[in-house]
Chain A
Amino acid sequence: GENVEQHPSTLSVQEGDSAVIKCTYSDSASNYFPWYKQELGKRPQLIIDIRSNVGEKKDQRIAVTLNKTAKHFSLHITETQPEDSAVYFCAARGKFYFGSGTKLNVKP
């Protein structure tokens, strides 16, 4: 089955800095890679996604890059703000398995 590894498990940055979260996957058939943001006690919300025929996608301060050869993809958040503090999950479709999550703390 799919195995999605996510790093780091926690990430603390200063407001205004950039944050990068990385995921690797094992199933070469995976072709859709969403990222979800989950605030404490709330539902996961899709923030950005990328299809396998695209190497990079950007939406304002958020970008995702995909390297299919190396089977890894990354979430980049620039100019971080305190409201970016949350847990971020990656996933690689194919199957329905999420990464273990990254707790991002943005210090004001």
Chain B
Amino acid sequence: DSGVTQTPKHLITATGQRVTLRCSPRSGDLSVYWYQQSLDQGLQFLIQYYNGEERAKGNILERFSAQQFPDLHSELNLSSLELGDSALYFCASSVAFGAYTDTQYFGPGTRLTVL
């Protein structure tokens, strides 16, 4: 157990809908990262937050957004869902954002299925 929690574990929804994925980082970690992993694919970095502020953006679609709250938990919002959005979504956390403290610990993931 990495100490990073994600809810829900599974999510099944229809095209055009909107969902929210939730992540709680390890105790003491200030940075949260979101990744998308499609079937048999690698990890695609979406976005990073550090202590409530957006720090880095990757291949995140405009239909997707995220935020980190004062208690450091983070939410990833996916809207106007398409079939291709079906994937495993991982959250990871680290202490800060500098390279030497950048070890990322992953949560168990949320499996999103869009029908």
Which residues of A line the B interface, CB within 8 A?
A: 30-32, 34, 36, 41-46, 49, 51, 89, 93-101
What range describes how many residues of B lie at the interface? 20 to 34
Q: B12: CB under 8 A from chain A?
A: no
A43 touching B107 in the complex, CB below 8 Å, given contacts A93-B99, A94-B99, A96-B33? yes
Besides A31-B99, A99-B42, 13 more A-B contacts (Cβ < 8 Å) are A34-B104, A36-B106, A43-B2, A43-B90, A43-B107, A89-B42, A93-B102, A96-B45, A96-B56, A96-B58, A98-B42, A98-B45, A101-B43
Question: B: which residues have CB within 8 A of A?
Answer: 2, 33, 42-43, 45, 48, 56, 58, 88, 90, 99-100, 102-109
12 A-B residue pairings within 8 Å (CB atoms): A31-B100, A32-B99, A34-B104, A36-B106, A42-B108, A43-B106, A43-B108, A43-B109, A44-B106, A46-B105, A96-B48, A101-B43
Q: Which residues of B contact A45 (CB under 8 A)?
A: 2, 106
Closest 7 CB pairs of A and B: A43-B106, A96-B45, A98-B43, A32-B99, A100-B42, A93-B99, A44-B106
- Contact residues in A for B99 (Cβ distance below 8 Å): 30-32, 93-94
